[in-house]
């Protein structure tokens, strides 16, 4: 009896490796992450040391995952992720952070990221599993966490040292916590994209997500002054 010929529909293509774009401002760290991920079978689609370069390259290269450092010379991984929600929504984002657990969760929620991975020596499996889970479309943030974080951020926004936050910034914060992208916030508040991005950066400064070195001298003095009252 003759064996039926295999039709194109029955040919199974090999599983493609997850394509990762690395965003970190330290060259040695990028090299270490690239080597580590390649050894685990991931495909490195590209890398960048700044937010501006990442936002230029990622939409063109279309990786599956953007692995974003929490702090960058010209911004934060939160801001990069939020921008990508509008320019490359198919790209999933993970925040790689040295912040404590509570701050890391807040960062991921405000970024509308798939999740976060803490920077821990020897904890490579968490990184690998996080990338694979995010690439498959799963969220690493548990059910109900976003709602609890939103409530917490609302309470935090009434703290005395955050009274400098304008009503517009508080409204933007509320939309960020609900998971809206910058473009969606602009539509809700009838603001141009540039105004929303500026407001988001200001909100992140006042919530402590940006390095003081990223701020203007006047802004650094204000943050330091407010933080001791």
pLDDT at 2 over 50: no
Which of 85, 109, 135 marks a domain boundary? 135
Q: Quick one: tokens of 164? A: 């400098």
For residue 182, give the CATH number of its domain: 1.10.10
Each residue's pLDDT tens digit, 70-88 = 999 999 999 999 999 999 9
Q: Are residues 80 and 155 in the same domain?
A: no
Mean pLDDT to the nearest integer, 89-118: 93
State the pTM of this model. 0.82
Q: Is 144 left (phi over 0), alpha (psi -120 to 50) or beta?
A: left
* Domain that residue 27 falls in: 19-135
129 lies in a domain? yes
Q: Are residues 170 and 100 in the same domain?
A: no
Which of 135, 155, 173 marks a domain boundary? 135
pLDDT at 204 over 60: yes
Q: Are residues 181 and 119 in the same domain?
A: no
Backbone angles phi, psi at 157, to 5 degrees: -65, -10
7 lies in a domain? no
Pick from 214, 197, 210: nearest CA to 87: 197
Task: Considering only residues 154 and 228, tell me which one the structure prediction assigns the higher pLDDT.
Answer: 154
Which of 90, 115, 135 marks a domain boundary? 135
Q: Quick one: tokens of 178? A: 């609900």
Each residue's pLDDT tens digit, 179-199 = 999 999 999 999 999 999 999
């Amino acid at each position: 009896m003759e064996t039926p010929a295999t039709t194109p529909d029955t040919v199974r293509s090999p599983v493609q490796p997850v394509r990762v774009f690395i965003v970190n401002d330290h060259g040695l760290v990028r090299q270490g992450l690239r080597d580590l991920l390649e050894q685990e079978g991931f495909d490195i689609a590209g890398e960048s040391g700044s937010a501006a370069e990442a936002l230029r390259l990622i939409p063109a290269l279309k990786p599956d995952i953007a692995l974003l450092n929490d702090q960058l010379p010209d911004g934060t991984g939160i801001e990069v992720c939020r921008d990508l929600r509008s320019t490359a929504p198919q790209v999933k984002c993970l925040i790689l952070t040295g912040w404590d657990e509570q701050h890391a969760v807040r960062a991921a929620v405000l970024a509308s990221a798939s999740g976060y991975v803490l920077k821990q020596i020897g904890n490579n499996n968490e990184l690998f599993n996080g990338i694979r889970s995010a690439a498959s479309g799963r969220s690493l943030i548990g059910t109900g966490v976003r709602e609890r974080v939103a409530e917490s951020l609302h309470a935090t926004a009434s703290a005395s040292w955050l009274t400098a936050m304008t009503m517009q910034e508080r409204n933007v914060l509320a939309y960020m916590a609900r998971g809206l992208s910058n473009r969606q916030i602009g539509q809700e508040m009838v603001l141009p994209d540039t105004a929303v991005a500026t407001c988001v950066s200001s909100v992140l400064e006042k919530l402590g997500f940006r390095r003081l070195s990223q701020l203007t001298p006047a802004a650094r003095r204000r943050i330091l002054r407010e933080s001791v009252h």
